[in-house]
Structure 1
Amino acid sequence: MLHTYKHNKVDRRFLITIGIFIVLLVLLFVLHVGLGTVWISPKDVISALFNRPTAEYQRWIVWNLRLPRSLIAMCAGAMLGLAGSIMQALTRNPLAEPSLTGVTSGSILGIVCWLGSFPLAAKYEEIIPFAALAGGMLTVVMMYLVTRRMRDNPFVLILKGIIMSAVLSSIASLILLQNQEQLPTVMLWMIGSLNAKVWQDWFTIWPWAVVSLPLGIACYRAANVLQLGEEVPIGLGFRLQRTRILLFVVSALLTAGAVSVAGAISFIGLIGPHIARRLVGQDSVRVFPTSVLVGGCLLLFADMLAQSVTIGIGGKGSGLPVGALTAMLGAPFFLYLLRRSRR
């Protein structure tokens, strides 16, 4: 009976946590849509979303300018949060994040190759996300081959991921040296930005989210198996190689989908899973869905801060890239985790 009581208590805590973050996500989403050089109150945002605007210009601003960006921020944050949680389970390393798959660098290289392929490539902006996806998926194949089809242990997997990212980044830099006119465009993707996102960008990311988010959450059993080490799962009859391949590919799909639209936004995939585990424990069946919600909340909040900084300095230009802000805020958090892991 004591075990049943503790189990029910944990489940109740998990459900309460999920409920709180759903409410927080909705609240941040409404505030995010309302934030801009023209402030729209939450009440007016909700009215505009239901096509009952207080003023016609509010409906136009909400639907044509701000809603795509808010949807992408929520979706990309959720994908990065889950990708980071899966990567940490795969490598059994709390400091791991989605970029360790090499997919982020591969996606950037795909963009650089597309923009450098012919002079008029930059005019076809709708192709850029697909170039990023192609680069990311090619990186998955390369990582599969260089890691001996995922037979490497977690430490070697991380090391090879770092090396792969460095090599791909170096190739991208060399190509950019020959096509310096494309540097401003590529820099936004390398930093990560939600500025000037439109409905076409949303139509690019949502199919990946619909497929990869449920698939990632459904991988909780495989993630829990890897937490047991190597000897125990093998003794129980699990095929570790297939389990690693599954988790790696799903994490890469999530990362590639997010990077293809939002760029290389850092630290969301590191911070989100840590917050989730502190709140709901180590079981992946609870950590994965919580990481989805936490990641979405984090990126919405970070982009609100980025927009607030831009508005505070006059609202001129395209705005502060959210990736620059997450890097500034995430670096101290990473150092804290690193210091804590040494104790």
Structure 2
Amino acid sequence: MHSRGFMLMRLFYLSSQFKKKIRRFPALILITSLLVFLVFTLHIALGSISLSLSDTIVALFHPRANALATIVIWHLRLPRTLIGLMAGAMFGLAGVLLQCITRNPLAEPGTMGITSGSILMIVAWFSFLPISAQSILFLPLVAFIGGLGAGGLIYILNWYGKTDPLRLALLGVVVNAVLQSGTVLLLIFSHQLLDGLLLWLIGSLNGRTWDHWAVLWPWAVLTFPLAIASAAVANALSLGDEVARGLGLRVEAMRVLLFLLATLLAAAAISAMGGIAFIGLIGPHIARKLVGSDNRRVFLLSPLLTAGLLLVADIIARLLLLHIPWFSSASTLPVGVVTALLGAPFFLYLSSYTAKRSRQG
């Protein structure tokens, strides 16, 4: 009786917490959106020519008010910021999709090999095709083919191994090492591409223009609604295969479709700004901590958080470049360096926590 009473109290507590999270979710989305807008404005304002927040906002909404601010913002900084915002959101959605379909908290485009596969295919594209045939319009599809091949291989091998989280991490390390070696070999034999692709391989917003934005946004318009609409399917998959089948879901087919969607999201983002380490891992986990396990809320909050985190990382990179003497000789500091330095400890913590839970379970 005592045990039963304790369980009822526990269920009542969890139910009350769940209702609180539902009630606070609209306010959380609003606050997060305002914070992301603030980061968006700061990202545009900071640079070698510093602008005040008020001048930045005025120039955004009234381009003719300040000629210098208009040139700096609309011709140089705004496309970079928009690409960072959109690519970050796409990495966030890709990460949460991969974590749902693999039921693995360590899954994200980097650990699944999608990033390395996409980069290898893009470098091969630039290495072997004549310059006249190269166009950034095809880069998302090129990246998708490479990401699908590498990610599909890791997905199949991991699923064969009963989706052990640490097995996924190990497979990711091995496959990524092989793919990165292939990328280095291509760059060695096509050394004329090295200067143009090195920062992009690490992950950088430097030099992003309206042309890159024109390539990215149609893929976002295509994939975002599909990803958000798949939240209910992700919820069913998280209950386990047997329960999902009992609900009438074709589990294997849905997993494949969601994996294709996650790969397309990541590949489009990679084609715009290169490989960004760990950003697709951090955002979804923070979102789950804030709103719980219901993917209908996680799928909305995760892209917002990840987009903001990516812009914050680029702001940090820019501040280091402007104010730290050790970096002053460099022309640019890729945002991928900052996300790797910040994300590596998070990944190690998550790996150890997951391993501990696996041993206890």
TM-score, scaled to structure 1? 0.89
| Deviation readout 1:63-86 (Å, 9 max, x if unpaired) | 001000110111011110111111
User: How far 1:164 sits from its partner (Å)?
Assistant: 4.8
1:106–1:132 CA contact under 8 A, matched in 2: no
Amino acid at match of 2:233: A
1:144 deviation in Å?
4.9
2:70 corresponds to which residue? 59
Measure, in 2, the Cα distance between the counterparts of 1:130 and 1:7: 44
Aligned to 1:333: 346
Q: What residue is the counterpart of 2:30 in the other structure?
A: 19
SS of the residue 1:257 aligns to = helix
What letter matches 2:184 in structure 1? S
Amino acid at match of 2:135: I
**Aligned partner (choices 248, 254, 259) of residue 265 of structure 2:** 254
1:151 deviation in Å?
A: 7.3
Number of aligned pairs?
A: 339
Describe the shift of the 1:129–1:268 C-alpha distance in structure 2 as closer, same or farther (beyond 3 A). farther
CA distance 1:168–1:300, shift in 2 (3 Å): same
When residues 307 and 200 of structure 1 are mapped into structure 2, their CA distance, relative to the original with a 3 A threshold, is same
Q: Deviations over 1:125-183 (max 9, x none)?
A: x7246335313235426755886699755349947666554443333233223222322
Distance of 2:137 and 2:163 partners within structure 1? 30
Gapped regions of structure 2 (runs ≥ 5): 1-11, 357-361
1:1-343 to structure 2, matched below 5 A, reads 8-52=19-63, 54-117=65-128, 121=131, 127-128=135-136, 130-131=138-139, 133-140=141-148, 144=152, 152=160, 153-155=162-164, 158=168, 164-313=175-324, 317-343=330-356
Residue pair 1:47, 1:53 contacting (<8 A) in 2 also? no
- Cα distance between partner residues in 2 of 1:173 and 1:316: 25
Report the more deviating stretch, 106-115 or 308-317. 308-317
**1:9-35 CA deviation, whole Å, 9 max, x = no partner?**
322211111111100111110111101
CA radius of gyration, larger in: 2
Q: CA deviation at 1:98?
A: 1.5
**Which residue identity lines up with residue 62 of structure 1 in the other structure?**
I
For residues 33-88 of structure 1, the C-alpha deviation after alignment (integer angstroms, 9 at most, x for no partner) is 10101111111111111235553111110100100011011101111011111111
**Counterpart Cα distance in 2 of 1:214 and 1:198:** 25
Unmatched runs of 5 consecutive residues or more in structure 1: none
State the TM-score, normalizing by the size of structure 2: 0.85
RMSD between superposed Cα atoms in Å: 2.8
SS of equivalent residue, structure 1 residue 251: helix
Q: Determine the C-alpha separation between the residues in 1 that align with 2:63 and 2:46.
A: 19
Find the aligned partners of 2:157 and 2:254 in 1 and give their Cα distance: 11
